[in-house]
Structure 1
């Protein structure tokens, strides 16, 4: 009987991490925080583009967010290895609430004014501050997971965490876009402030977790930092996993920061093209054809549809065993390149929506598997610092977004091509490069394929 019970306990269960004390609290806290971050991602990009109507300024805003994240994330990893991760997360959530409230107040006082275009500097300041906060706290947010669930449930817990993020990607952008259209951008920022405060309250109920690295404070922080880099370069598996993640992040993630351009200038909708939607009484009551003429609503739709695909992808990972994770990671990068290429070059909103669902699906597979693989193979002693480098790579997205936006701006100043063609071309090239890159990792570094 005991043997049967033990075997049954190791059968893959999609929700097994929720049986671990503390993980439900962590998950719901992250749900509240990620709802705010996903709404902010849409709202901030929409706001800065409405204020400036400039590709370059939109790209510059992403750099303003990423630059401090790059400089602070490694120190955030050192902090994660030395201090209580719960306290670091709480502090970060409080500061995020203050940042969101700052923008809301500026909007209320007309210091940020859509009519005059004033207030770009305030939005930039908030982006810089938020990037700094994220750099210090993201490593803790990731490194605390194995302390809560243990290594045996690590892949499942990461996938469930990713599922929660994707639920937010499904709902939060659409809610943000709809709120902007119906209630205004100011209301959205006040609501995001509430979500960050809610996350702070929930995380206060998280049990104090025992550090997996009890000797963290025996060396100086700078020594810890140097040792972290040495560890990464000496551990071949970790090094190539981080390299493959960096490659895929830099080429595949810029679309998220440039979606307002696709929604406003490229995948334009005329209400009469969707008049057929009003043939159904329930749908006609929402007047969707008219709502789709608002770029903010189309932006929310694209982001939410991407979230549907991402949610499906992360749920699949929750039921996967630990075998063949390396293969699935590389193959997901390859498929992501193909689907993102289709999205980049279409001017049809319908085709954009369909391709964006697959982009979300393969992006989610890539994110969940790369995170799980890194956390599975890293030593507990260096977990916080390695995860800080892993999260720091996502800061590089903003630099690639800025490069893509700047090059696109130069192309579009010729006025030879259709509006937004520069963005389509530069982002399309980045997406195409994912395909040979994935094949190089597939055949050139076969050790990644063999990772379980």
Structure 2
């Protein structure tokens, strides 16, 4: 990943750059536990996501709008309450919060698995589970993102973020493919939810076995009024934070719903079965995994990488929507995955490295809000367009809107930065005049 070094106060500075190896963060005992548990749990999570999409399509007879609503419900709580989750990450020990959140998500997987295996599952129950998962994610996601630096420190933070992305996307390769095979072999989606329930034991064990004395834990931020507004002001006053957050805000509306588009293209456009749908998801994840491994070796995040990745992803979205044959569609998913992960890893590392420790939870709450909060807008919109104009039309329009979003983020950052600098100069001039 790109490495923009910063002081603990959050101000950027240039330091000597070194390449100590692609897997250098794994030298840290606590991070090894965290990464190992994450690999197992992520595979289970991606298996469940595949099973959830397939279950909704089965229960609704292939209704694209219902699938879009499910995705929207899972991300809607982050849009509504994500900022409060980041604030809790600043107030309470992150490891304890993660243990509680992971336990609750495991219980949800168990409940949905039992309902599906017994033949009692209904689509409204999937909606409830998706919304509840979203509520838990309001706390879990920003906490997990901000917890990484407490394990590895600032020096290896970029590398650890890239390795987390590699683990996540390795699971994205294995999980959907395994889910597709197991749905066919086991005769339904219910066992997949139960397998995911068991996988939570790995991540919980890793968290419980950590050496707390080796964690660099900042002092909890005391409860006070105006902390959310303080976080927003902190971001808008710093272009190095504002640019990646705005870019993610615009493009995530359509990148987060791309997995939904893969399901629709595989099933409705190309007539693929469950195993072939899993293959399509895995091809996209292969590209994402390759992009994450490249990010682990890259230094210095740049605005060019962020914007270039967004433009490339938009173009590959359009190309995949126009692909006439399923094999060509599968091939186009690989570079689309590379482009998407380039945006995500660069933005995540750049934001964390430019943030001071006492603000990291709130800043990551804002980042996660814009990263996932666009899905409740983008997923139903693309689902509705796909119902009216066909799945291909929905995918192509998603790509066009991604390109527009990249341009809008660039322009807005310039406008807001100029106004911020002008306001600072005005205050400085007024102070000088008073003297």
Scaled to the shorter chain, the TM-score interval is 0.7 to 0.9
Task: Show the counterpart of 2:209.
Answer: 205
Aligned to 2:55: 47
Determine if contact 2:261/2:395 at 8 Å carries over to the other structure: no
Q: Which residue of 2 aligns with 1:385?
A: 362
- Cα RMSD of the aligned pairs, angstroms, is 2.2
1:169 equivalent in alignment to 2:172 = yes
Q: Distance in 2 between matches of 1:65 and 1:94?
A: 18
Q: Is the CA contact (8 Å cut-off) linking 2:317 and 2:398 kept in structure 1? A: no
TM-score (norm: length of structure 1): 0.83
Contact 2:76 2:375 in 1 (8 A): no
Does the 8 A contact of 1:266 with 1:347 survive in 2?
Answer: no
Contact 1:56 1:405 (8 Å CA) reproduced: yes
Matched, 1:216 2:224: no
Query: CA separation in 1, counterparts of 2:146 and 2:66?
Result: 34
- Match runs of 1:99-138 below 5 Å: 99-112=108-121, 119-138=122-141
Q: Is the 8 A contact 1:267 1:352 kept in 2?
A: no
1:201-350 alignment runs, 5 A limit = 201-208=205-212, 210=215, 213-214=218-219, 216-217=221-222, 219-220=223-224, 222-268=225-271, 295-322=273-300, 324-350=301-327
Distance change >3 Å, CA 77–CA 437, structure 1 → 2: closer
Out of 399, 403, 425, which is 2:381 matched to? 403
* CA drift at 1:435: 3.0
Shift of 1:343: 0.9
* Deviation of the 1:202 alpha carbon: 2.1
Any stretches of 5+ residues in structure 1 without a counterpart?
A: 1-6, 113-118, 269-292, 412-421
The equivalent of 1:36 in structure 2 is 44
Superposed displacement of residue 109, structure 1: 2.3
The aligned length equals 398
Does 2:193 correspond to 1:185? no
Report if the CA contact (8 A) 1:254-1:427 is conserved: no
Q: Contact 2:92 / 2:220 at 8 angstroms: preserved in 1?
A: no
Distance apart, 1:210 and its partner CA: 4.8
Structure 2: which 5+ runs fail to align?
Answer: 1-14, 417-435
Q: Distance in 1 between matches of 2:146 and 2:102?
A: 17
What is the DSSP-based 3-state SS (H/G/I as helix, E as strand, rest coil) of the residue aligned with 2:226? helix
State how far apart, in whole Å, the 2-side matches of 1:121 and 1:445 are: 41
Indicate yes or no: 2:21 matched with 1:21: no
Deviation of 1:79 (Å):
1.2
TM-score of the superposition, structure 2-length normalised? 0.86
Query: How much has 1:198 moved relative to structure 2?
Result: 2.5
Deviation at 1:259, TM superposition (A): 2.2
2:402 is paired with a residue of what secondary structure?
helix
Alpha carbons of structure 1 residues 436 and 128: separation in structure 2 relative to 1, 3 Å = closer
* In 1, Cα distance between equivalents of 2:290 and 2:313: 15
Distance in 2 separating the partners of 1:140 and 1:441: 26
Query: Is residue 74 from structure 1 mapped to residue 42 from structure 2 by the alignment?
Result: no
Note the C-alpha offset of 1:180: 0.6
Residues 255-295 of structure 1: CA distance to partner in whole angstroms, max 9, x if unpaired? Answer: 21232211111123xxxxxxxxxxxxxxxxxxxxxxxx5x2
Name the CA shift for 1:78/1:182 in 2 (closer, same or farther; >3 Å): same
Q: Do 1:62 and 1:399's aligned partners in 2 also have CA atoms closer than 8 Å?
A: no
Per mean C-alpha deviation after superposition, the further-off stretch among 29-38 and 85-94 is 29-38
